[in-house]
Structure 1
Amino acid sequence: MARTKEFDPDAALQSALELFWRRGYEATSMADLVEHLGIGRASLYATFGNKHELYLKAFDRYERAGLTRIVRELSEPGPALPAIRAVVRRYADEASDEQLRRSGCLVTNTAAELAPHDPASARRVERNWDHLESTLHATLVRARAQGELPSDRDPLALARTLLVLMQGLRVVGKASSDPARVRDAAERTLALLD
């Protein structure tokens, strides 16, 4: 007779995500995961695979939640530019928040730590950025169609600029103790929308 799982895989995945997010991939060992999740090593491997597979599953969970929120925020009917400004300002606020900035963004952390040498992580980071860029682009196209964005502005170039700014805010915010640095950069970049 097969044994039933004595833990909630969904809760365990969320807990693993939080540990990876806080500590990073390399600094988190399987022993750390076993201890943090309170799950036996064999059960962990049987449910999630090895540490790398668990990390990728945690990344996918993080990505779904983040992209769902941004798509929802940028897809609301009505004026588009206020929604874009709100998302960028939220990124700046989170990047300068004392508690949030320590962990940073799991996508940005993965881009810096794993993507240069891990093709599976690199593909996930690119997928995330492609999705974010296309969402920003669609919102900027809508803004131009609604007369909010001057017709001489290139929505794709602006979407790419905002993507790089938003990811940069996460990197600089994680390492800098000066919140004005990220907030000033965000406001200066948002001025491109005027």
Structure 2
Amino acid sequence: MARPRAFDENEVLDAAVRCFWTRGYEATSVRDLASSMGLTGASLYNAFGDKHALYERALERYVDRSVADRIVRLEAPGIPPREAIAGFFAEVLERSLDDPQMKGCMVVNAAVEMGPHDPVLRAAASRTLGEIEAFFTRRVAAGQKDGTLFSGETAEGLARMLLGVLLGIRVLSRIRPERALLEDVLRPALAALEPR
């Protein structure tokens, strides 16, 4: 008869997220993971499989607790479209500036590090970026419909511009986490949404 797990799965997954997010996939060893998660190597393998499977789970947990949560909160009824978009970026800026380790975004890091040669992780990162793009598209379309956002471009085109700005901010924040710089990158993008 198998023994019940003697650890909280969410807690150890959060530890794996922190470890992978700080070091990246390649630079994180199974020993690093086991140590940070408070597990033996055997327990780690028994519970999560190999390092790649654990990374997939950690990335999924990161997305659920950051990106997906942010989208749900900012699409709540009563939040105007421009406010939702600006709020999304405000949270990203604060998260980037309050990160002394300059970890950036785990999804962007996965896309850059693993995307070119790992189809599974490329698909996971692409799916999340697609969800962000879809959020921007829905909010822009809603703002165009109610007249509060610029309608001279398609909602899809403006959403892709916002996605590009987001990725730029997340990469820049890893090497130059300067408020003025990041706000200067964002300001023209938000201005481009204004009706005229």
Structure 2, gaps ≥5 residues long? none
Q: Which moved more, 1:11-20 or 1:71-80?
A: 71-80
Normalising by structure 1, report the TM-score: 0.93
Aligned residues: 193
2:88 matched to which residue of 1? 87
Which SS does the other structure have where 2:5 is aligned? coil
Q: Tell me how large the CA RMSD over aligned residues is.
A: 1.6
Normalising by structure 2, report the TM-score: 0.92
Counterparts of 1:88 and 1:23, CA distance in 2: 25
Counterparts of 2:134 and 2:111, CA distance in 1: 19
CA-to-aligned-CA distance 1:60-98 (integer Å, 9 cap, x gap): 111122222223213432421122112123323333x15
Higher relative contact order, chain-length normalized (CA < 8 Å, sep 6+): 1
Conservation of the 8 A alpha-carbon contact between 1:73 and 1:83: yes
2:15 matched to which residue of 1? 15
Counterparts of 1:147 and 1:155, CA distance in 2: 13
Structure 1, gaps ≥5 residues long? none
2:42 matched to which residue of 1? 42
Counterparts of 2:127 and 2:42, CA distance in 1: 31
**Letter of the 1:122 counterpart:** R
Which SS does the other structure have where 2:99 is aligned? helix
1:67 matched to which residue of 2? 68
Judging changes above 3 Å, is the alpha-carbon distance between structure 1 residues 88 and 43 closer, same or farther for their aligned structure 2 residues? same
Equivalences for residues 1-194 of structure 1 within 5 A: 1-65=1-65, 66-95=67-96, 97-99=97-99, 102-194=102-194
Q: CA deviation at 1:100?
A: 5.4
